A = this chain, B = another copy of it.
């Protein structure tokens, strides 16, 4: 890995693929077609792109039972324990609204209401992502969303990976569709004969899915568009180089555009980690991906002291931050911008990807400056409530009318003035 002195000009930002004109044109056409022709269009594109003629779009009970029957019981138990941990962490995010009583029985309030329905897109392809199912569905369930739908492109055999079906089953979700791509996003946004529309769509996908989500935004809500993964590690002399290297590589194996950065006060550690990365790379099944990531976006920076390291992290605002130093908790207190923080040697980042409880859907590409990981608030909305009695109205009507007239909005002033007193009721 490249090693250099830490300077002020560090950045995580990469030029991310935002789709070309032709891809966008295709996506718009698919969206319009599904909006117009429903299931028929969904089937057409599924046949065209995935090469599959589907009888049912929806996964049947038999398919779920089959997946359950052949699934490794140990893995099922692991998934159940992960689900419990994730649920516990997110339960603490539940909120009630509030009521502020004013004089005379008047009050103001905020009411919290879950979304009616959400759709989760689970990417297909070679791998199965049961952890995505847990991380997206559980906060929606904790929020109180009644209807939760999963959609994912099926394999050539017309089936979804058992791990996805088993994860959904553990959570009690059984409305699952076997479709992917822009046509799946269109079906969730607009609805078809067999799929009722949802209010929000979450979950990652390929460039067509990302473009489709951007296009339907406004019609429905969407989660953030996630970029390639990032890990930043702050470490000092107390860290073990092989562990730091392994953690850097855990994110590098995700994507050739993933970014792994070590910031350390120890030149010795820097050198040792660099060597370890090279050694471990050679033994990785996904060596090609991880190597491309490390070569293009991996970097080790030598900081003069811990304060400089912390300030650099606040500039980067990384998705994942590990702090493997003496007094790691104390160091963490200086961090203002990071999606998730893993404190101490035993909090290896994959602990959070799968199991600990906090969400693994996190802001990338420095957006942790202003964005949060997926959480229960993403599945609720708030309604403001005003209840004024006659007395409270009477005390304030003139002030309100004056403010309205200051803005040149006479009808506003007249509306608030229109109550009883002008009719001689009082």
Residues of A that sit less than 8 Å from B by CB: 74-75, 78-79, 81-82, 88-89, 92-93, 95, 98, 100, 108, 110-111, 113, 115-116, 126-131, 163, 199-200, 218, 220-221, 225, 240, 242-243, 246-247, 249-250, 252-254, 280, 284-286, 290, 329, 332, 335-359, 362-363, 365, 367-373, 375, 377, 381-390, 392-393, 396, 399-400, 402-404, 406-416, 418-419, 423
Contacts and interface: CB of A to CB of B under 8 A. Distances in A.
A410 B369 contact: no
Nearest to A394: B346
B341 A383 contact: yes
Given A220-B370, A341-B386, A388-B344, A411 B354 contact: no
B415 A350 contact: yes
29 contacts: A81-B399, A93-B110, A108-B356, A110-B375, A115-B370, A130-B407, A131-B407, A218-B365, A240-B418, A243-B419, A247-B415, A284-B411, A338-B383, A341-B383, A341-B386, A343-B386, A344-B388, A346-B389, A347-B393, A348-B416, A350-B404, A350-B409, A351-B386, A352-B384, A353-B404, A354-B404, A355-B399, A358-B386, A370-B381
Nearest to A112: B372
Contacts of A243: 415, 418-419
A228 to B, nearest CB: 14
Contacts of A354: 400, 403-404, 412
Going nearest first, the 8 A-B pairs with the smallest beta carbon separation are A358-B384, A346-B393, A250-B415, A221-B370, A253-B411, A340-B384, A246-B418, A350-B412
A82 B402 CA distance: 12
B285 A393 contact: no
Contacts of A221: 367, 370-371
B386 A284 contact: no
Contacts of A415: 243, 246-247, 249-250, 348-350
B384 A341 contact: yes
Contacts of A280: 411, 414
Nearest to A413: B350
Contact of A407 (B127, B339, B416): B127
A132 to B, nearest CB: 9
A333 to B, nearest CB: 9
A93 B108 CA distance: 13
Contacts of A365: 218
A127 to B, nearest CB: 5
Contact of A385 (B79, B252, B332, B388): B332
A332 B97 CA distance: 15
Contacts of A88: 100
Contacts of A368: 381, 383
A12 B382 CA distance: 20
A412 B346 contact: no
B406 A163 contact: yes
